[in-house]
Structure 1
């Protein structure tokens, strides 16, 4: 056998190629790579130089082990356990030991969430080193580890499963057979890493039966070097000492490095933050590609993928650079995280917060249609029995293979693995319809419903939220019937019903889960749930299949099962999509074993990123490891392994090496400093260690990237159009106006959105009115559209018409376009204002009707005591009825709000009892022109279904809170009750068009009943309003002012002049501020005032 050691990957691959060239033409060669991909790359490159290639097998070491062990395991009816299965067994061993109180040292932490995973890692390391429980002796943690290691082995024996150590021992047994697979093959070990005694024994067994063998190893891999040393004398091929070979030779060298200058083939640069560093890498990739380097001859070695993977993906997409993320890069898995959120929902007593977390991950499954689904399961869960009956038949499918990403299964289940990947990530041929219209709205609905937890509360609160929407609809129908919110509330009610139809059966299923069960029972429950709640459940089912060998272990709690699943379902190894050729290779430094690239990038050479801080095993400290004397890894070994990561990255580059580090930690806003590895790269080039300031200045000059301007100095170096334009602007800012004028015009020609935005801002700043300001004139197309919204054609409420005086554009958006603002959630400590207003008016109406039925109206001082009793009874009736329907989220909030309503109503009754003005209430909630049966919605039975015409021209509809008749004059009075603050002044008529109810409600009542109305008034019936009554005498002048207000509004619609022209302070509380922007009032002062004459006249009305 021949073993060659070199710091250059190119040198090692050349030795490997020569070994195959020297083999007899009829010989078969087994190429064992550090990974299957590396072996494939090597053989493909070799095949390019030969006319034909036969007899070359390409596998990783674990795949070789799988092929050797599979026949023996099948004969013994044993199943290999995956990493997840091993963690489950470790969790079970710890649980049993804790339950039997046999742990002493680990007893305080045995129930900690991370303990099973850490224990599995430690026990597996001991097993791979060939350590048995009887050998683990000593004090402290050693007795507990011995106990747990024995239990660990017993659990595997009980379920006929094998862990990684037994799996490798079985493979070694298979390799000892001269008739086994690959027995006659020559062996080539291509940068294979041997990390434990079990792997070492397997390699030795393979070499012993092979006719010839060769191994190439990187410098610094001391464990693998020690494993091959008994087999052959190790040859060291020293680099030539020029260019990159100089860096490789003196990297971490103990010998003195000769002085030299920085190398052109090594560039050290920095950037302000990881995101900008990713952009700078993309810039250099484009530069190299323009120089003729193919994308697939460039690689990025990520030592900190959790910080860089997403940023790199985004930066490369911006630059149009195809990327290939090698297997091993871990990413969040939406389906797995959604499933874990549902398990956490059960753990937290059916927490709505956890269910909302599940919804936020976009995993609501697609089914055949919304109507059928909602019909199956209503708000109260009709049809649930049928689903539960089907549920009992659902389990892990017989054809679901245990296809873990662990390379133990890389060969045994490649086909099933690929099928699962296609099912999970592939898109269907056509878009499948969703069962529900808007599941993306459910998360907000849950937050608004304040379900909190428990199955009963889920049903009560969702039903209560529907009732709350109904109350809000009633209040809006009373005050503003054409509001855009009415349609929104109807849609919202349907969405709540959809949420209930989907969520309540799942909640009931989760509520039925046991507290403890055997693993087999948990797996059946999980597997039954996954297809119901996940769009793509394939990966979750694969992980559950990994645990099937543990089925007889138990009983275990749901908490324990969730801890085992958490790591594997929360994140996954990113599956490479397609082939890597034509793409920039992105992976960990270990993925560069057995590979070479023309250009290699090594980012993140900053403190705490690369190198990463080595940490001792918390369960088996280095002192105890040395006592065992089993070759276990210690801190010096871990430090050497970290150095090996940099050696592998540097060794893979054949032409150019880029080394970089971030200078700012953008998440915390503090500076970063280069790590010792960055200094070591500089030392290996120049022979001296630079000062930190010198290194940072040199790196900053290489990129010249700053936080102040996210673009390069030269536009030609930009990675996309955005950077190019910013770079142009960066230069123009410093130019004199005369030279800079017009040089950025091309941006307006190339970017339609930018052109539209800039032109609109310019035109709105001009004095003349134009269509950029809004609707300011009519044409042939808009005239018939606006004609349909004139006051004589379409019916309006007074609340909508009052918007015109505040701002014509607000009127256009709210009353004509019927837009609505986004809804903000009310704080838990306060009732929704619309709901509270509806309850207040309902209590007032109920109070009046009870007194009317008793013939005790009006309320007088001598009837006050009885009236207050009637009020309390009416309010109690309304509160009791609505409490059952609304199912308030927090009882104390409901009680406080009802107490506040009761206080205000009692003060209001006291006020009207002492009024002594001779007015007798006769109609309550009298409506005109509103749809629906008056009795059904609590209106006066004599309400008029048709709208009313004012001055025989203008259509109105609405609801009058109270109509009173004077006891002697027999004239009528209109009262509109307000629950807010009094904002009108005494002596007003229409308040500049902002308060139309007193006059126009009076005119509407006269037109409908044919009786004289003497006055209209606003009554502020709460403490906030001071119980203030503001009356308007309905004389000829008031009547004329009311009609003129309608004429002005109708004329504005007719002429199409509805611009953004707010009254002073009108934008402060406007719902449509995001549409217009905050500078409307300032721009209005520059506009021509003549077209606003009508609006100004209206606002001057008293």
Structure 2
């Protein structure tokens, strides 16, 4: 009889479990360090933490970190693709449920949807997903004999049949397919189950199949016997029933709340706690609570370590803490993206069809024009270009409220037109000149553009038709606003609902579009931060120095459970009893929705154990049904007091004592401001408060403000930094004559040559260009990680290898397509080897193993690019010059550029010549982004080839045809050459001149404002701008200098589809 593979069970808190992972994976190697092993994790955040820890322990190979859904995709992905199935689009489950409810309305007894109740289809989709995840079949529901369950059986059967006939699969379907594959063909891959406290029935089935034929280990975060961990007992019982054997975990290095965690929610008390391990803040309302908890985090002992705010469910608290940290200048990182419907782009898209439905109300029209950046939209810019309007009109176009202020109340298209005609007549009778008439004509044109595009939205059509029409209108009526790319992608997903919905009204499609937007949008890449903001669920498996938990009030945490309206807990219990009557103590097939207290207690225990040093709890005293309503403190707070042996209450709060509990007063607290200010403003207020008499201040006491040294200057600086739509000296506007004169030497491009790459940097962020030009200011470069290459090092290795390769070809007088296969492969290997040896001599090498892996990757990608770009067709190009340099190239610009003289210098990667005699400059790119067809210059970010061609015009024979190409050499960019023909270069030349002219004018006038973007994460001057750079820049989005840059970047853009990011 075959011996079952070993299965081990470890039960301990997370910080002890993660220390075991490396040793267990080493044991699972079985003598083969390259053996495949799986680590199933509860979240990608836990995956990142474990990978980082393992990287510090040595080199690893063959270890995959997967969530259960990732595992299902890996196992069943080939099968569903062979079957021609597609993933269900966002909102597809609710759309299909909506269709089934309509089609079966006459057959339903208890679950017929009531009239006028929205969201019934979404609730049905969630219930059907629960049933499918539990492995419940329609026959199981029929046998139960309840009318509601018979209705659910009918709908479940129809849902699965229709899903298959439409050729889609959803998450439960993918899990079910993976279970079948794993059970039919067991894999000999050791599996480590990390951090799971519960799994649904399909996930348990999949885990069981994967652990049947190979060694396995389960690491469960809990403490045996602790009442707070009762939620985990069914999971432990299931693992032991599968044959997992308990293993002892050494209890070394206990955390501050280990003893209190064991006593929590029990009758025992008297647990010990270090004096500074717990802080509780009672605040008047949630807003003040967030402010005071951030203060506690900043002044906590060991403050250099990362702190975290673990918020109860919902987005309210997370958004509140994000805004609080932003206002205080505290670097914070939220581990969730803002849902797309809350971004400016999402609000603009959803509000767009409502404008016509509601008769174009003035407030909503102005909000759409402002928030959608209509002044920078393609349709408005096209009108302005055709009209030939001047600079004054451009500035007024961003002030829609001013333009419409003189108009009376209007409703509907005809009403707006009558109001504008009446205003025109009044102007004419008052002999108002053309200067006053121009703004009115601008607003009239904006309305006409808006009316034209919104009239094109269909009243009734298929979702795909609605989506395409909405996309055209949205792109035409909005500029570059936050969330636009994610919104367009979600809109495309809503357009794939044709099979489920059929033809729908415009209002109905808007609902499905809104549902598709209720998902997080892509944010900036993760970055180090002083404070991390996570949900209690999302923080499982992570550790922090100090943890803050807000919302310890009745109804907030723990939250009240809500039963499923279509499948109540009583019916779920009956189904569980019928489906698995013998599984006492094991996880139920269907989870009970109303009984969430055990899970909330467990999450509270986990949050306490995640703190390595200190926990700060927040209690909002008000903010229930209204701002003034009082809230009772959470029972969890009283359980914690009982665990610590604290008895008695004062005004509804346990008697923790002044060393633990701080009650924040509704007004300013002088002593708190003096001892622990969280901003310069609080420091000023504390200093001013010290000057005031202790008695009540009389009228005129504010005169002390003016007498305080430096107060007026600091207040003026604060006002200037945040003044909307006005650029000041705090935004890179150089006004001091002496400073301007001092900087004009190194900055002025008509007197000293400016590098082509720095020109592109100006259009990415003029302020970064300025700071990089100051000889006294050096960028603060962060050291790269020893296990991975940053983008700069990786790019330099690609460039160095390509330079060596093409230089060797030039010496031979051949092109890449003319070499024999063996000769080609040897040249690529030699070029890569030379580039890496040069980097090693310069001290750029990583640790040995990742350095070898990086070298193999670069060599493989170089060969892939050269084969794809040069050897897949007939030989055509030969290198003429490699790494060519030039300086003091004088460019003549149009008269509006001032003196019209620009000196540039540069270094081009490669100049080639074709067999037909055409030349092209090639710019190597090792990144993943490419110019867009709609904007091939990228607003000034893709200028290099255009200036290299001008260099070639003075260097090559007269009349030579000269083009350019971007060489995307990395695998992620698709191994391709993106060419620019000589005709294309000539067509774009006027727009290049306009951009260069703007640069000349900015350099002469000292205009260098910041343009925050995702590139700020790679900027060495980020500390100069400060953490509030984004909100501050958004307040100045319509300033004259910003508008001039947008106009120069937008001028002359060709029509056409936008190229995908490579």
Normalised TM-score (structure 2): 0.58
Contact conserved, 2:641 with 2:656, CA < 8 A, in 1?
A: no
Distance 1:603 1:122 in 2: 31
Change (3 A) 1:327 1:659: same
Confirm or deny that 1:337 pairs with 2:377. no
Change (3 A) 1:131 1:439: farther
Moved more, 499-508 or 724-733: 724-733
Q: 1:583 Cα shift?
A: 3.9
Change (3 A) 1:552 1:575: closer
Contact conserved, 1:323 with 1:584, CA < 8 A, in 2?
A: yes
The match for 1:266 is: 278
Q: Could you tell me which of 715, 722, 731 is aligned with 2:690?
A: 731
Confirm or deny that 1:673 pairs with 2:673. no
The C-alpha deviation readout for 1:63-88, integer Å capped at 9, x for no partner, is 22222222111100001215522122
Contact conserved, 1:303 with 1:610, CA < 8 A, in 2?
A: yes
Q: 1:135 Cα shift?
A: 2.5
Distance 2:434 2:640 in 1: 66
| C-alpha RMSD over aligned residues | 3.9
SS at match of 1:106: coil
Q: 1:113 Cα shift?
A: 1.9
Change (3 A) 1:209 1:538: farther
Contact conserved, 2:396 with 2:439, CA < 8 A, in 1?
A: no
Q: Could you tell me which of 546, 550, 559 is aligned with 2:493?
A: 546
Distance 1:45 1:118 in 2: 41
Distance 1:366 1:473 in 2: 28
Q: 1:18 Cα shift?
A: 3.4
Confirm or deny that 1:618 pairs with 2:631. no
Distance 2:623 2:403 in 1: 33
Confirm or deny that 1:719 pairs with 2:667. no
The match for 1:508 is: 455
The C-alpha deviation readout for 1:724-765, integer Å capped at 9, x for no partner, is 122233333344899x9999778441541647999xxxxxxx
SS at match of 1:372: helix
Q: 1:156 Cα shift?
A: 0.6
Q: 1:371 Cα shift?
A: 5.9
Matches within 5 A, 1:491-506: 491-506=438-453
The match for 1:661 is: 619
Change (3 A) 1:573 1:7: farther
The match for 1:37 is: 45
Contact conserved, 1:369 with 1:433, CA < 8 A, in 2?
A: no
Confirm or deny that 1:568 pairs with 2:516. yes
Confirm or deny that 1:213 pairs with 2:217. yes
The match for 2:783 is: none
The match for 1:282 is: 294
Matches within 5 A, 1:210-359: 210-218=214-222, 219=229, 220-222=231-233, 224-231=235-242, 232-234=244-246, 243-253=256-266, 255-258=267-270, 263-288=275-300, 291-295=301-305, 297-327=306-336, 330=339, 332-345=342-355, 358-359=368-369
Distance 1:717 1:661 in 2: 20
Normalised TM-score (structure 1): 0.56
Q: Could you tell me which of 465, 469, 474 is aligned with 1:525?
A: 469
Contact conserved, 2:673 with 2:682, CA < 8 A, in 1?
A: no
Contact conserved, 1:679 with 1:690, CA < 8 A, in 2?
A: no
The match for 1:128 is: 133
SS at match of 2:643: helix
Contact conserved, 1:599 with 1:655, CA < 8 A, in 2?
A: yes
Matches within 5 A, 1:937-956: none
Confirm or deny that 1:684 pairs with 2:632. no
Q: 1:349 Cα shift?
A: 7.3
Q: Could you tell me which of 433, 455, 462 is aligned with 2:416?
A: 462
The match for 2:609 is: 651
SS at match of 2:333: strand
Q: 1:514 Cα shift?
A: 3.5
Change (3 A) 1:635 1:160: closer
Distance 1:488 1:376 in 2: 19
Q: 1:608 Cα shift?
A: 1.4
Aligned residue-pair number: 678
Distance 2:419 2:703 in 1: 58
Contact conserved, 1:370 with 1:437, CA < 8 A, in 2?
A: no
Matches within 5 A, 1:857-1006: none
Distance 1:757 1:147 in 2: 65
Contact conserved, 2:289 with 2:619, CA < 8 A, in 1?
A: yes
Contact conserved, 1:679 with 1:689, CA < 8 A, in 2?
A: no
The match for 2:713 is: 752
Distance 1:529 1:194 in 2: 46
The match for 1:557 is: 504
Distance 2:466 2:417 in 1: 32
Contact conserved, 2:334 with 2:532, CA < 8 A, in 1?
A: yes
The match for 2:654 is: 695
Change (3 A) 1:645 1:139: same
Distance 1:169 1:275 in 2: 45
The higher radius of gyration belongs to 1
The C-alpha deviation readout for 1:975-1006, integer Å capped at 9, x for no partner, is xxxxxxxxxxxxxxxxxxxxxxxxxxxxxxxx
Distance 1:433 1:230 in 2: 78
Distance 2:216 2:628 in 1: 58
SS at match of 2:374: coil
The match for 1:153 is: 160
Contact conserved, 1:469 with 1:489, CA < 8 A, in 2?
A: no
Q: 1:563 Cα shift?
A: 2.8
Distance 1:359 1:298 in 2: 40
Distance 1:757 1:5 in 2: 56
Contact conserved, 2:7 with 2:215, CA < 8 A, in 1?
A: no
The match for 2:383 is: 373
Change (3 A) 1:8 1:211: closer
Contact conserved, 1:327 with 1:587, CA < 8 A, in 2?
A: yes
Contact conserved, 1:335 with 1:363, CA < 8 A, in 2?
A: no
Contact conserved, 1:371 with 1:435, CA < 8 A, in 2?
A: no
Matches within 5 A, 1:829-868: none
Change (3 A) 1:5 1:679: farther
Change (3 A) 1:744 1:445: closer
Q: 1:674 Cα shift?
A: 1.1
- Which segments of 5 or more consecutive residues in structure 1 lack a partner in the other structure? 379-431, 759-1102
SS at match of 1:30: strand
Contact conserved, 1:15 with 1:216, CA < 8 A, in 2?
A: no
Q: 1:343 Cα shift?
A: 3.6
The C-alpha deviation readout for 1:836-866, integer Å capped at 9, x for no partner, is xxxxxxxxxxxxxxxxxxxxxxxxxxxxxxx
